[in-house]
Structure 1
């Protein structure tokens, strides 16, 4: 009889929370019988991340992971209870990849810190696109998650904002980065699934859009220059800059109170 895996398996904190925390913080007991020599929790998680990076989360199962590791599925369960707990470990691992261990390396200027936060998260999402498929509303907080929050708060120390506002800054920046990253990822998936390039897709609509613009029904759209939707425009830099501008206004307001 084998263990069943929860459907989907893409929601953090959906497994045995106590077991995930034990594994994340190194307090769980090491399997006492039957492990394959050389099999470690670190190797298991690294292999799982590798499969997800290459083929997506749908390709990852405990059976597939056991095959990649050259061991039996039941042996794997002695280390990790199931896919839900494995997901908690994978998330904490990739969150920890870009983190510095020295808080003194965090920029003293909060604007630079926010820029660094955004660019780092963007790089992480590009390296691990499967992160965009995960519901992280109830993330199990492991060492990397807490370290990331600590460094983010260190970078925002000069803002003078209150606690909830500081968390709001982090959520706002992360949500912006995730939104653009998801759009970029969807564009890549659309090309892969249809075999049609972006240029070819929009070119096919051109005659219809041209007639619509000449109809007079869309005056504001028709008044836009041809390069208004240019793919070379840096939406990331533009949006991030406006977020920082808005935060700067709030920080100045707080300083004057």
Structure 2
């Protein structure tokens, strides 16, 4: 006699299945007869769909990319779009990988400092060109050919310098993370200027007198001195370009100092 399952016990999780996005990501290297086919012959390619989504994101931000809006842009019935990509998360993964794959990576220079700086600068430039890349969250880190090639190139910058494998990964993550933070600051500065219709310098000039009134009676000797010096140097409240140069130099200094202790 078979015992009935105990209703108090949680159901066993379903076995994991291969993600359908993987074959789409690697569609250019998967044999044609192995690629999934859905319905009648399609008039567009997956590349066409992804390129249109990238153009939407570049113009309107990632939040402006919807399956319905993309279908309208392509002249498709909304449900027809799902014959190309399973859903929006998969679409975003394809968009990211397509951007990475189409970036021509420069040869890495000879010096370690220059190689580390190049890794950060390439990512920074990409985030400036496609601001929506900084908003990609909540999707699994699918590994497509663009991401795989990029990671291999980044790791080659630190191969054989004296770091172990985990430290190599962490060094790349540190450089990319810092470059992303600077690009984010630059986009936020530009967004504030667009929304206010004023440059940072114009805003501060217009509000300096009022700030002096509301802050009267409170002393900020350090903030006042440093803020004035920075403002005069930047002609603004901040200067992300200078922050990139200063911060990147200090990160590379730290990596070189770590390696010097092991030589």
Q: TM-score range by the shorter chain?
A: 0.7 to 0.9
Which position in structure 2 is the counterpart of 1:96? 101
1:231 to partner: Cα distance: 2.4
Alignment of 1:187-206 (within 5 A): 187-206=189-208
* 5+ residue gaps, structure 2: 1-16
Instruction: Please provide the CA RMSD for this pair.
Output: 2.4
Q: For residue 193 of structure 1, report the CA deviation from its aligned partner.
A: 2.3
Distance 1:138 1:30, change over 3 A: closer
| Correspondence 1:1-257 to 2 at 5 A | 18-26=19-27, 27=30, 29-37=35-43, 39-100=44-105, 105-135=107-137, 138-207=140-209, 209-210=211-212, 217-224=219-226, 226-229=228-231, 230-231=233-234, 234-255=242-263
Retained in 2: the 8 A contact 1:118–1:173? yes
TM-score after normalising by structure 2: 0.80
Tell me, what secondary structure is at the counterpart of 1:224?
A: helix
Per-residue deviation at 1:185?
A: 0.9
- CA distance 1:248–1:215, shift in 2 (3 Å): farther
**Aligned-partner Cα distance in 1 for 2:69–2:75:** 10
Judge conservation of contact 1:213–1:221 (CA < 8 Å) in 2. no
Question: What is the distance in 2 between the residues matched to 1:223 and 1:59?
Answer: 43
Show CA shifts across 1:43-68 (max 9, x none).
11111101100111122111111122
The alpha-carbon distance between structure 1 residues 156 and 99, as it changes in their structure 2 partners (threshold 3 A), is farther
225 and 92 in structure 1: CA distance in 2 versus 1, 3 angstrom threshold: closer
State the Cα distance separating 1:208 from its structure 2 match: 5.0
Following superposition, which runs of at least 4 residues in structure 1 exceed 6 angstroms of deviation?
Answer: 211-214
Aligned residues: 236
CA shift at 1:137, angstroms?
7.6
Q: Separation in 1 of the partners of 2:78 and 2:227?
A: 59
Distance in 2 (alpha carbons) for counterparts of 1:31 and 1:66 = 19
> Counterpart in 2 of 1:7?
none
Higher relative CO (Cα under 8 Å, sequence separation at least 6) belongs to 1
Structure 1 pair 17–70 and aligned structure 2 pair: CA distance change class (3 A): farther
Which position in structure 2 is the counterpart of 1:12? none
> Deviation at 1:29?
2.5
Q: Give the structure 1 partner of residue 9 of structure 2.
A: none
| SS of structure 2 residue aligned to 1:238 | helix
TM-score by length of 1: 0.82
For the pair shown, which has the larger CA radius of gyration, 1 or 2? 2
CA distance in 2, matches of 1:36, 1:226: 61
* Whole-angstrom CA distance in 1 between matches of 2:120 and 2:138: 18
